[in-house]
Structure 1
Amino acid sequence: MRLTVLGARGAFPEADDACSGFLLEHDGFRLLLDAGYATFPRLLAVCTAADVDAVFVTHGHPDHCVDLNPLLRARSLADDPRPPLPVYAPPGALDAVLALDRPGMLDYALTPVGDGDRVGIGPFTVDVRTLPHFVPNNGVRVAAGGVVLAYQGDSGPTPDLAALAGEADLLLAEATYPEAVPGHSAGRLSSALDAGAAANSAGVGRLLLTHLWPGLTDAAALGAARSAYAGPVDMAQAGQGWNLSG
């Protein structure tokens, strides 16, 4: 399984950066996890819009889904349009982004998914767990070729994350703040310290932090995560590629 980071910034992108978007590849199949602000141009540096086989969106906040629109436009308006793109998301999460164009213009096949669902997407087996956020958010456990990646989306600290990520080869965890989450977001967002604790509880092989708030430093987040988790910790950066093995 190969993971390519298209973007990993929380809330809104900084210069030369992008929000949440991750491309998984296995056996020639390309699965896009989230499609936040500015991820589509970075996707085009890796493959064409027609090369994407499926999309899984964790939740309906625009920093995780808004670039689904240009992806679908590029496929639907091409001289040789592709078949409908399979898209998986919580019920109703994509209503706003799909309504940006007139009905029938965008060609997709939407499958609502939620807590406890297991779906086969190409060579990937995806288990879904709803995790606490401001809107319905699906954390996922993605398995293929003997490798497991867990992705939190956005959520507050919860034992369900460690259960979802148990013994995963890599946990891609939200770390909006280094240590303390402000009161207005408590229970709905996580810190790098929370991510380290979840990685430790889950016994994962590697922790990759994502969704850091713009303007905050990677060093502070990495230090906080490493204080709670002794395994390898990195900060997700746009353009990174990871070959994952069990």
Structure 2
Amino acid sequence: MRLTVLGCSGSTPGPQAPSSGYLLEADGFTLGVELGNGTLAELQALRDPFTLDGLVFSHLHPDHCADFTALTVLRRWHPSPPVDPRVHRLPVYAPKEAPTRFAAAYAPDEAELAGTDLTDVYDFHPLAPGTQTIGPFTMTTAEVDHPCDAYGFRFTHNGRTFTYTGDTAVCDTLDDLAHAADTLLGEASWTHSPVRPPGVHLSGRELGELATRASVGRLLITHVAPWTDPAAVLAEAQETYEGEVALVSRGATYDL
């Protein structure tokens, strides 16, 4: 498996820093994981968006899915697409409200919303806890602790395991998803403090503690907010996890 970072800014995009978006690839199959603010431009700099084989969304906050609307314009209105998007509908794995939420984001007004159905170019699959096959990947999905319907994922392929936390506070399901993973891509939006609101995000310290409890092989930190010092988040994780740890960056690739 190979991971490419399209963007990794947490909560909002930052200067020249798109929000969350990743590509997970294996055996010629490309799975998009999140498509937040600014990530479609990054994707187009790397490849034709029509080559995506599927999309997965952990939850429906804009910093994880805002560019889905732009992708919809591309898929519906491109004058000469390399494949017919109405014949080859893109599979989208997302929380159950995604079809109506994405239609509302795409429609210019309430009158048009009533007739907006994006299933002409997308094949929506509602997420639920459990395991399914997507292309060459086995994906295990679990609910996590965030102020909306939100999920974390565990991907396995050819004996290797990659876990992505999505956005979440500390919860038991994270330990199961991350257990003995070769690589953990985890969000840490802020530094550790008792004044942080509960049930929203992980701190660098909490993410490092998760990686230690789960005995992961490598920790990659993502989703640091533009107003948070990334070096401080990294230092917290390094204090609580003794393995390999790094902050991801836009355009970086990782062999998993």
TM-score, normalised relative to structure 1: 0.94
User: How far 1:94 moved relative to its partner?
Assistant: 5.2
Contact map agreement 2:150 2:167 (CA 8 A) in 1: yes
Return the match for 2:92 from 87, 95, 119: 87
* 1:196 paired to 2:208: yes
SS of the residue corresponding to residue 33 of structure 2 reads strand
- Residue 138 of structure 2 is matched in structure 1 by 125
Cα 1:222–1:18 change in 2 (3 A) is same
- Residue 144 of structure 1 is matched in structure 2 by 157
Alpha-carbon distance in structure 2 between the residues aligned to 1:94 and 1:107: 12
- Residue 110 of structure 1 is matched in structure 2 by 124
Percent of counterpart pairs with the same letter?
A: 35
SS of the residue corresponding to residue 45 of structure 1 reads helix
Residues 42-121 of structure 1 mapped to structure 2, 5 A cutoff? 42-78=42-78, 79-80=80-81, 81-82=84-85, 83-93=88-98, 95-99=100-104, 100-101=106-107, 103-104=116-117, 107-115=121-129, 117-121=130-134
Alpha-carbon distance in structure 2 between the residues aligned to 1:22 and 1:93: 19
Cα 1:203–1:30 change in 2 (3 A) is same
Contact map agreement 2:147 2:199 (CA 8 A) in 1: no
User: How far 1:181 moved relative to its partner?
Assistant: 6.3
User: How far 1:210 moved relative to its partner?
Assistant: 0.9
Cα 1:108–1:191 change in 2 (3 A) is same
**RMSD of aligned alpha carbons:** 1.4
Cα 1:66–1:182 change in 2 (3 A) is farther
SS of the residue corresponding to residue 240 of structure 2 reads coil
Gaps in structure 2 of 5+ consecutive residues: none
- Residue 255 of structure 2 is matched in structure 1 by 243
**Which stretch shifts more, 91-100 or 48-57?**
91-100
- Residue 13 of structure 1 is matched in structure 2 by 13
- String of CA shifts for 1:181-239, please: whole Å, max 9, x gaps: 644x3122111111000000111011111111112222101100011100011111111
User: How far 1:152 moved relative to its partner?
Assistant: 0.7
* 1:157 paired to 2:170: yes
Alpha-carbon distance in structure 1 between the residues aligned to 2:66 and 2:99: 9
- String of CA shifts for 1:105-124, please: whole Å, max 9, x gaps: 66100000112x21211101
- String of CA shifts for 1:90-132, please: whole Å, max 9, x gaps: 11145322321351466100000112x2121110110000001
**Which stretch shifts more, 69-78 or 166-175?**
69-78
Contact map agreement 2:153 2:163 (CA 8 A) in 1: yes
- Residue 206 of structure 1 is matched in structure 2 by 218
Alpha-carbon distance in structure 2 between the residues aligned to 1:206 and 1:171: 6
**Number of residue-to-residue matches in the alignment:** 242
Which runs of structure 1 show a deviation greater than 6 angstroms over 4 or more consecutive aligned residues?
none
Contact map agreement 1:60 1:94 (CA 8 A) in 2: no
TM-score, normalised relative to structure 2: 0.90
Cα 1:181–1:65 change in 2 (3 A) is farther
SS of the residue corresponding to residue 227 of structure 1 reads helix
